[in-house]
Structure 1
Amino acid sequence: MGSKPQSNKETNMWPKGFGVKLETITPFLGKYRPFVGRCCQTCTPKSWESLFHKNIAALGFHNVILVTEENTRYRGWLVRRLCYFLCAMDWKIAPSPDAWEKVLGSKWIQEILSGRAPGGAGEGPKPSSLRRDVQHMSGQIQASIYPFLLRIFNWALLKFLNCIFLNVQLHQGQLAMVRQAAQAKDTPLIFLSTHKSCLDGLLLPFLLLSQGLGVLRVAWEPQSYSPAFRALLRHLGGLFMPSEANLFLDNPKGILSRAVLSAAVEQLLASKQPLLIFLEDRPGAVGPRLSSHGQAWLGLVLQAFREGAISDAALVPVGIGYDLAPDVQHGGPRASSSSLGLWWGALAVFRGLRGRRGCARIDFAQPFSLQEYSVNTWSRGRSRGQSLEQLLLQTVLGHWSVLPDCEKQQEWTPMSGPLMALEEEDQLLVSRLSRHVLSASIACSAVMATAVMAALLLHRHREGVFLSRLLENFSWLTEETLLRGFDVGFSGQLQDLVMHGLCLLHSSLSLWLLPQGDVLVLPRTGPTLTQLAHHSAALLPVFLCEAVGACAVRALLAGRVPPEGPWELQGVELLSQRELHRQTLLLLHLLPQDLLLLQPCQSSYFYCQEVLDRLIQCGLLVAEEAPGTRLTCDTGNWRFGEKMLWRSMEDFSDSDSDYEDGTDSRCFKLSQQLRCPDFFLFLCRLLSPLLTAFARAAAFLHQGKLPDTELGYTQQLHQFLLKKAQEDGSFESTDLSQAHSAVMTFKDLGVLKEQPGSTGSTLHLSPTFTTQENQEKLENFIRQFICG
């Protein structure tokens, strides 16, 4: 994604006479651009083969907000000034069907009106009263679309987007792939998206409408918007879940509301209108990453499929990336409110006029069949695993040395009314599908220039860096990102890209012109570091596998050599494969699934194997022969073991590590290449913010005031994290979501116990952790994974 030439003011920031190599950053490996977002070959093999666009690499990008007279049917001087309006008038908007009559005639409503369903006419109000309630609730969910209002709104939105973004890029090949899937299967498109900004719900419908895919219906969260704004969004294609839908399962109003909601979704999908659901929670929300609201809507789609309203649906993971999201404050993280108020709109326009405009990128992963996924998931059976307390507590306390060979069960997302009304098997399927799709959406999201810059400054050059070296590191980290199968949302001259990132992050940086002609770039100390932490978090999924492995290696070395010891001394130590697997598994159990987002078809053991392979591939670990063992290269006398160690059904690799003879004898050492120490430290620091918050949560156990509510204790911990950051400057570990993750993890681990009461549930300290000794064991267990 190229950017426009920088202004003269920005160009003058470069020191005169500074020799910069005019290297061009291109997001290509070899001849073709890497394709990201292939669907899972294990769960959806038919979709993986049939719904892939063969010419996707040959198609380029399109800036959807660049509208000229060439995009209209007319030419001329006046057209150039009215091209936005004329283009909006030409967009095709299909008439919306009469939803009310179809909702009233659905089997859900007819069963209630006839009294055959619980809460029906035979048990309560008269049919005429129920009809009025059904009409009222249907109006709360959706409304008729006004085409002229939709065109005027998107015309204004197009002008607004040009004020706050340099460009909004869309891959033409991905768009063609989505069109092909819609035509091939003749089923509704369900877009399942990440949620990076409050603008997402307006940007995606504008994008699809302008590209001829029709009016996108958006499932909005009603709590964040005023009644007047909800009414406007409904006439623009918005859908809202009525509040009564979350009432108890035996409540008559809740039964009626869920029936109307199910009928409305069935009617919508049967008419093949595309639907957008945000599977990631709204920006700034404190809680689980997976949205309970999004899962509830996905459950309604699954219910419509089960009831035969649709034969299938094409699920399309969507990734969104911003250089600088419109609702990001200058000196901190995202705004806590998701309201589309005038204050952030005015701020975004003002930022654009000041030249702080960033870029945006929308990516569509490969669509896949809901029917195929559900059939393959059922065929593999169900396994809920064990709790974190069963898996990890005894190891933390030093009582176990062998970990149970079982998957972790961790469900933080609260169950909403529509989801609880489903069968247990369907609830489990929605949970698995949500994690699967959100993982795919994040994997296909492009890494933006601000994420690369923030990660370098926060995790590699915290003490400052010369601009000449920063240029080299930016190019290196971009290449490493592409090598791991992720795409980047930028291209162009290296000098322009680095300047673009520095300008967008200038509120968190200090630039010092040196007499030698170079520039010293220093991250500002204090709360402004939270902005760097927010942007650098977008790079964590790229290196998550290696970061987990590096922290596991750090834990192994922690008890052998001093943490500050030289790299050469650490490289002497032999690390067995069994030890590496154990430490990796310990860390995987500790980290929340919201961060890892492991696909349900992938076992933890298989992920440990992948972590070890990644560390070898990136050159951090080299194979070493253990004393007294047969050489690895001596394959003449290898024999099959009596028992094949198939630890995961999906691992069909034919390697020596699958047999008893070679599993425990493989050893490794840290590589002694010059780049390895810096890269190892960079990987460890990617996870350090969260692990530091966890360690401080363990240290806070004897200071926290308990009993308290979950929210109250989370706020107590957050204040403690802020206090510790004031002492040592670690503001990247002060996010409220990190405090929430620590509290939820400690609940799963059995450190904090939840007890019901007359006024609600409260948290109490477990009797096991009332002693300072066990609290210190927990803190030391977490700190072994943290590296400087």
Structure 2
Amino acid sequence: MVHEKNDGINKEIAVPPFPQNRPALSWELKIKKTLKLVPPFLGKFRPIVGQCCHQCTPDSLSKKTGQNFFLGFHDLLKVNETHTRYRGWLVRRVCCVLFVSGCKVYASPANNRLERVCQSNRVKEALTAEHNAPEGGDSRGQINRLSPFLPLINTCIIPSLLRFVGWVVLKMFASIFDSIQVNLNHLPALHRASQEGSLLVYVYVRQSIMDCALIPLVLLCHNLRVPYTVSPLQINSYSLRSILQKVGVVLLPPSAVTEQDAELDSLYSTVMTSLVRELLHEGQALSVGVSAESGRGGQWLARIRQLIKEGSVPDVSLVPVGISYDCVPKTKNIQVGLSSLLPLLWSLLWRRPGGGVRIHFAQPFSLKEMCESGRCRVDEWLPLQDLLLPVILDNRTNSVFGRRRMSWLLPSSHYASELKEPTHPERDLSIAIILHLIYSATSCMAVMSTSLVSSLLLYRRRKGTSTSLLCRDVAWLTEEVLFRNKDVGFGGSLAEVIHYSLSLLAPHLIIAAVPSSKDPFIVPRPSLAATLHLTFQAQIVTHTFILEAVGACAVSAMLCEVASSGVSTMVRSSGVDGKEVKDDMEFDVVLCQSELTERALQLCHLLPPGFMPPCQSSQSFALDAVDSLVRCGILIMEEIPREVPKCDVWKKDALTWTTSDDPYNSDSDCEEQDLHSYKISQSSQCPEMLFFLCSMLSGHLRTLCWATTKLDLLHTPLLEAEFVAQIHSHLCDTASKKKQHYESCSEEAAHTAVRTLIDLGVLLEEHHKEGVFLDVSPLFQLSDNRKKLHRFISHYLYN
């Protein structure tokens, strides 16, 4: 962590004040009055985020950024005359226009790119392989076949149009966000890489369509090369498509609605690979977004890696980008047309800005180094059913060592040869790169104040809390986040932070200003939309505490087994539901280290993609999860007493001698492994903390449980889309009946649960002309096996 310089930076990153002419609500006045005496403590230390992986890219990590102090933040929306070369009253009124016109823009004309793409061997072979390929390889026939992709190939960057669009986007973002704060720490490294001629590829995790515009805008305002941006949106308007393609936006073909539809065309992947090759040969930068749930967008990274392997491109520098929102704009998965864009822009002009944005650029690292170093190993990857089915069905105590293979993250169209060999290591390595970039970009994201409040209200104070108690929780959680080397996207006094967060989350909360009490009472609104919004905001907190959450769920699984064996483990706590006991809380259960690590290891295999770095083994992650509970004070380590002290070498048995030339000999073979056990802390805060950590993964685990119960009610086989839709409908109906647990009802949760069941072998994929059909496997058509699966998952749910 580095100390933040006291040079006015804190004033720039403070929470933006609300307009003074807006009438304050009664609960806002009470919050300000209640928290008036709370001293400010936030924003004192800033962790160093965005460093390269020390295991996969040590050479890139050794390239230091050149400064040992924090450079501060730059708000893109605060443009004044000091950002221009001119001064005066007229300049203050047109400073934004002058600033954008003064930004350096690297022109990128298409020139003869179309001819080069058509003449590439990859495209020629693809055209020849088609049944309707023109004989003789006529160039006009090739162009006719490639006509749907011609506008994509001719995508270019016109400097004057880019400056105009940049000015429009700045004005639009000023109506949407309070601020756009950019971390300046790694920008010097980007400038240096650009001057050295390195090919930069920016990778971010998709959250909103605003992501596509934020990264080019930041680079434009800091005089860096604006990248060609890969957009997954379907643009219906011809004029809008023409404008976007002239500012470097690579769109989907007009006939494709989604990325999956585009990939169905046999020529699309080939043409896009050739297009990426030509763009990189021109020295252009790229910007690619990857979905954390499905891995969509990762095929572009696979294309770049394929070009490096072939030798067409020497190397590229990957730059993970973390984008954090106080409130994510609701613009996801929409089709954009001129008729829908104009009302959207008109509504933005009359709305009050809501929330800020924090952007972190990570340190660039070499993709070639990651691929050729051999440190990111995939030889231990196994199907999920090989890892967990023996434990679930056969009740084995020891798990199979390995890591879950997620082949669905990368469509098989990129590796046609793997239709016969689905476990090819080349494909696994590309998937490992996708997973690593999802993890790196997520690790760069700052934890916003709305994320902290959402996490506390969902996982710790689900039944409601007072403002003063929420204030103490936010102060504690902020310190824990900073301790884990995560940056926070807010600053200022605690009163301002709480007031700002609750104002943004107010539509999703019930805030009762009780006249007899000074503290307003805050409860999450019990609705599907409100719970899903709070859950989405709290995801980054779950990523931050993933080790502790896995370890806490492993403890819950072992306590569940102890309770089923007849030992009472019910405790009394204000934050945990359960039977009350007269005495103080006591856990006399001894948890074995090996068994606890086994439970954590098994849970690691059920995690969604992006939570674990692929360069770390599952065994190491499970051990770290158990150790993290010791650091938190939840578990207390105790050594198992021995009959003979370890230091008493005379009373030990005779030493076993081995030959010195034995290749399998180790000095530690004759030593006994240290045996440890754990006891749960007797602190009164322990059950509340355990419940808080377990609740972070309860939504994902509960989705798996509910999806498992639906299997016997489905009439299979069904199309995959229809199957996911029925599972999603079942999740919503179950939550509505229970009137709780709405966090398990999102479409992403249903899709992730179905993919997990497919990997487990519960569902079988059948490929037909109409699409992919899903059917329940014969093994899990037996109700006993479904009950075993449900019991295995439900053990990790804290009760």
The two structures have a TM-score, normalised by structure 1, of 0.87
Counterpart among 225, 237, 250 of residue 239 in structure 1: 250
**Aligned pairs (5 A) from 1:399-478:** 399-415=395-411, 417-418=413-414, 420=416, 426-478=426-478
**Aligned pairs (5 A) from 1:155-554:** 155-184=167-196, 186-221=197-232, 223=234, 226-240=237-251, 242=253, 254-255=266-267, 258-280=269-291, 288-291=293-296, 294-327=297-330, 335-337=332-334, 339=336, 355=352, 357-377=354-374, 382-383=378-379, 385-415=381-411, 417-418=413-414, 420=416, 426-514=426-514, 515-527=516-528, 528-554=530-556
Name the CA distance, whole Å, in 2 between partners of 1:415 and 1:65.
39
Name the CA distance, whole Å, in 2 between partners of 1:153 and 1:224.
17
Is the CA contact 2:203–2:289 (under 8 Å) kept in the aligned structure 1?
A: yes
Name the CA distance, whole Å, in 2 between partners of 1:354 and 1:243.
32
Once the two structures are superposed, residues 492-512 of structure 1 have per-residue CA deviations (whole angstroms, 9 ceiling, x without a partner) of 111111011101110111122
**SS of match in other structure, 1:366:** coil
Q: Give 2:97's aligned residue.
A: 85
**SS of match in other structure, 1:560:** helix
Deviation at 1:77, TM superposition (A): 1.4
Counterpart among 12, 34, 40 of residue 18 in structure 1: 34
> Does 2:568 align with 1:576?
no
Is the CA contact 1:718–1:734 (under 8 Å) kept in the aligned structure 2?
A: yes
Counterpart among 654, 662, 666 of residue 676 in structure 2: 666
Deviation at 1:70, TM superposition (A): 1.1
Deviation at 1:674, TM superposition (A): 3.3
Counterpart among 565, 569, 574 of residue 571 in structure 2: 565
Structure 1, gaps ≥5 residues long: 282-287, 329-334, 645-653
> Does 2:49 align with 1:46?
no
Deviation at 1:56, TM superposition (A): 5.5
Alpha-carbon spacing, 1:641–1:492, altered in 2? closer, same or farther (3 Å)? farther
Deviation at 1:735, TM superposition (A): 0.8
Partner amino acid, structure 2, of 1:130: Q
Partner amino acid, structure 2, of 1:748: D
Deviation at 1:128, TM superposition (A): 3.2
Name the CA distance, whole Å, in 2 between partners of 1:587 and 1:732.
19
Q: Give 1:730's aligned residue.
A: 741
Name the CA distance, whole Å, in 1 between partners of 2:763 and 2:307.
40
**SS of match in other structure, 1:622:** strand
Deviation at 1:549, TM superposition (A): 0.5
Name the CA distance, whole Å, in 2 between partners of 1:694 and 1:53.
44
Alpha-carbon spacing, 1:560–1:351, altered in 2? closer, same or farther (3 Å)? farther
Deviation at 1:249, TM superposition (A): 14
Once the two structures are superposed, residues 315-355 of structure 1 have per-residue CA deviations (whole angstroms, 9 ceiling, x without a partner) of 10111110012226xxxxxx442647775885687578554
RMSD: 3.5
Alpha-carbon spacing, 1:660–1:248, altered in 2? closer, same or farther (3 Å)? farther
**SS of match in other structure, 1:393:** helix
Alpha-carbon spacing, 1:411–1:570, altered in 2? closer, same or farther (3 Å)? farther
Alpha-carbon spacing, 1:655–1:250, altered in 2? closer, same or farther (3 Å)? same
**Aligned pairs (5 A) from 1:607-686:** 607-628=621-642, 661-663=672-674, 665-686=675-696
Q: Give 2:788's aligned residue.
A: 777
Deviation at 1:181, TM superposition (A): 3.0
Q: Give 1:590's aligned residue.
A: 606
Alpha-carbon spacing, 1:674–1:234, altered in 2? closer, same or farther (3 Å)? same
Give the stretch that moved more between structures: 241-250 or 754-763: 241-250
Partner amino acid, structure 2, of 1:41: H
Q: Give 1:147's aligned residue.
A: 159
Is the CA contact 2:263–2:269 (under 8 Å) kept in the aligned structure 1?
A: no
Name the CA distance, whole Å, in 1 between partners of 2:199 and 2:522.
50
Deviation at 1:570, TM superposition (A): 5.6
> Does 2:764 align with 1:753?
yes
Alpha-carbon spacing, 1:130–1:584, altered in 2? closer, same or farther (3 Å)? same
**SS of match in other structure, 1:700:** helix
Alpha-carbon spacing, 1:586–1:630, altered in 2? closer, same or farther (3 Å)? farther
Give the stretch that moved more between structures: 679-688 or 15-24: 15-24
Partner amino acid, structure 2, of 1:603: S
Deviation at 1:571, TM superposition (A): 2.7
Partner amino acid, structure 2, of 1:407: R
Alpha-carbon spacing, 1:682–1:356, altered in 2? closer, same or farther (3 Å)? farther
Alpha-carbon spacing, 1:134–1:448, altered in 2? closer, same or farther (3 Å)? same
Alpha-carbon spacing, 1:759–1:62, altered in 2? closer, same or farther (3 Å)? closer
Name the CA distance, whole Å, in 2 between partners of 1:780 and 1:296.
37
**Aligned pairs (5 A) from 1:703-722:** 703-722=713-732
Is the CA contact 2:385–2:760 (under 8 Å) kept in the aligned structure 1?
A: yes
Partner amino acid, structure 2, of 1:713: F
Alpha-carbon spacing, 1:224–1:152, altered in 2? closer, same or farther (3 Å)? closer
Name the CA distance, whole Å, in 2 between partners of 1:198 and 1:566.
46
Is the CA contact 2:705–2:794 (under 8 Å) kept in the aligned structure 1?
A: yes
Deviation at 1:591, TM superposition (A): 2.6
**SS of match in other structure, 2:526:** coil
Q: Give 1:284's aligned residue.
A: none
Partner amino acid, structure 1, of 2:299: A
**SS of match in other structure, 2:718:** coil
Identity %: 30
Alpha-carbon spacing, 1:347–1:452, altered in 2? closer, same or farther (3 Å)? farther
**Aligned pairs (5 A) from 1:124-135:** 125-131=137-143, 133=145
Q: Give 2:615's aligned residue.
A: 601
Deviation at 1:540, TM superposition (A): 0.9
Alpha-carbon spacing, 1:381–1:544, altered in 2? closer, same or farther (3 Å)? closer
Name the CA distance, whole Å, in 2 between partners of 1:43 and 1:199.
31
Is the CA contact 2:298–2:410 (under 8 Å) kept in the aligned structure 1?
A: no
Deviation at 1:299, TM superposition (A): 2.4
Q: Give 2:47's aligned residue.
A: 34
Name the CA distance, whole Å, in 1 between partners of 2:81 and 2:262.
56
Partner amino acid, structure 2, of 1:457: L
Partner amino acid, structure 2, of 1:519: P
Partner amino acid, structure 1, of 2:371: S
Give the stretch that moved more between structures: 126-135 or 734-743: 126-135
Once the two structures are superposed, residues 130-152 of structure 1 have per-residue CA deviations (whole angstroms, 9 ceiling, x without a partner) of 25555763433332323222221
Alpha-carbon spacing, 1:601–1:639, altered in 2? closer, same or farther (3 Å)? farther
Alpha-carbon spacing, 1:536–1:690, altered in 2? closer, same or farther (3 Å)? same
Structure 2, gaps ≥5 residues long: 1-12, 574-583, 659-665
Is the CA contact 1:104–1:110 (under 8 Å) kept in the aligned structure 2?
A: no
Is the CA contact 2:465–2:522 (under 8 Å) kept in the aligned structure 1?
A: yes
Deviation at 1:577, TM superposition (A): 0.8
Is the CA contact 1:620–1:670 (under 8 Å) kept in the aligned structure 2?
A: yes
The two structures have a TM-score, normalised by structure 2, of 0.86
Name the CA distance, whole Å, in 2 between partners of 1:177 and 1:637.
61
Deviation at 1:238, TM superposition (A): 0.9
Partner amino acid, structure 2, of 1:290: G
Deviation at 1:308, TM superposition (A): 3.5
Alpha-carbon spacing, 1:709–1:201, altered in 2? closer, same or farther (3 Å)? same
Is the CA contact 1:191–1:315 (under 8 Å) kept in the aligned structure 2?
A: yes
